[in-house]
Structure 1
Amino acid sequence: MKFEVELKFPVDDLSTVESQLEDLGGIIEVPKRQADRYYSHPSRNFAETDEALRIRRVGDQNFITYKGPKVDDSTKTRREIEVPLISGATGATNIVHMFESLGFTPVAEVTKDRRKSHIQYEGYEVLVAMDEVLNLGTFVELEITADEEDVESAKAAIAKLADQLGLSGSERRSYLELILGSE
């Protein structure tokens, strides 16, 4: 079973982080717009169970993602299952119709411009996402996909990288929770 081990930090200026990533050998990708539509379950409250179900559109690509509950109190580590869907507007429309026919209802949409970089750090490939989230601000996410037995060492690696990048004030709430004003 794979886990998404993640720390997220609000930042005032992404250019400092970009420069440090380049010093670590990272190549910053061009920004891509991501639109995430989140859904509520017809018979259980995802806010109470700390789960999420979304449809993500990135350009012409579509994905459905399930995020399980966070597994600790210090990071955003959780099980994540992501499945690519048929690309294009028709693919997105079809899955929306399927969800809504099954009783799922839209909760909110999170739109962001994301620049990614991948670096090797402490034996892991770390995804560094620099996000400008509409109506929310700028953030840096550090993420490692790890097997269950590697979660603790992955958490230590991203904590060390965050410290090296001068990131502090980790935010455990998702963008959805922040937009909805959840604690």
Structure 2
Amino acid sequence: MNPNDIEIEIKLPLKNPEEVIAFLQKKAKLLAKNTHQKDIYYTPKHRDFLATKYPYEWLRLRHSSKGNCITYKHYYPENTKVTDYCDEFESSLDNISVLEKILTSLDFKTLAVVDKNRSTWDYKQVEVAIDEVKDLGSFIELEAKRQFPTPQAAKEYLYEILEELHAQVGKEELRGYPYLLLAKKGYQFGE
């Protein structure tokens, strides 16, 4: 996440993770190797985050071997297929099980659980993550770690880096892992 709480990233299905990892091991700085993350996504009862066709808010509790955290993301523009960036507010948690009890007591509903292993590198001021996501497969995520004049300029730079990595990718994933898992289960999103 950038210091100004704005996240600009791209995420795509990855067809050649071994080759991209080999490139990164030679050319990039390893930040974390094979970190297990279990992300639980919630929605408040009084404000259903899935009530729109394109959900633009997510509340996540992350259980991780690197430490636990809570994250709220709000994507812009709202309720559109393609977003430019998101506000991302994140805080570490000492006792995640207590917060889970608090959310349950406040009638927050679990939406999805994303179980993945992630390795991350720093390459040319971009955080590159390779994810192996249970029930979804391999993905590559690139997040800008420096300021750009516009979100579009940042995304152009991220695509340039993607080319340098020689990543063989599918179509950009615009909605995120919880959306993909819910859609795979047949969930009908609102309008």
User: TM range, normalised to the smaller chain?
Assistant: 0.7 to 0.9
Deviation, 1:57, is: 0.7
Q: Provide structure 1 residue ranges, at least 5 long, that are not aligned to the other structure.
A: none
> Is residue 46 of structure 2 the alignment partner of residue 54 of structure 1?
no
SS at 1:114 equivalent: strand
Aligned to 2:178, what secondary structure does the other structure show? helix
Structure 1: distance between partners of 2:14 and 2:161: 15
- When residues 148 and 30 of structure 1 are mapped into structure 2, their CA distance, relative to the original with a 3 A threshold, is closer
Letter of the structure 2 residue corresponding to residue 85 of structure 1: L
Question: For 1:24-44, what per-residue CA distance to the aligned partner results, in whole angstroms no more than 9, with x for missing partners?
Answer: 333363201000001011211
TM-score (norm 1): 0.84
Q: Of 93, 98, 101, which aligns to 2:97?
A: 93
Which one is further off, 111-120 or 42-51? Answer: 42-51
**What secondary structure sits across from 1:83 in the alignment?**
strand
TM-score where L is the length of structure 2: 0.81
Task: Show the counterpart of 2:90.
Answer: 82
Query: Is 1:118 aligned to 2:122, yes or no?
Result: yes
> What's the Cα RMSD here?
2.3
Out of 71, 94, 113, the residue aligned to residue 65 of structure 1 is 71
DSSP 3-state at the match of 2:166: coil
| Identity, % of aligned positions | 30
SS of corresponding position for 1:22: helix
> Which segments of 5 or more consecutive residues in structure 2 lack a partner in the other structure?
none
Matched-pair contact (CA < 8 Å) for 2:28–2:121: no
Measure, in 1, the Cα distance between the counterparts of 2:119 and 2:83.
21
The question of whether the paired residues in 2 share the 8 Å contact of 1:2 and 1:145 is answered with no
Could you list the structure 1 runs, at least 4 aligned residues long, displaced by more than 6 angstroms after superposition: none
1:40 equivalent in structure 2: 43
- What displacement does 1:12 show? 2.2
Q: Is the 8 A contact 2:41 2:58 kept in 1?
A: yes
Q: Report the counterpart of residue 3 of structure 1 in structure 2.
A: 6
Q: Which has the higher helix share?
A: 1
Deviates more, 1:76-85 or 1:139-148: 139-148
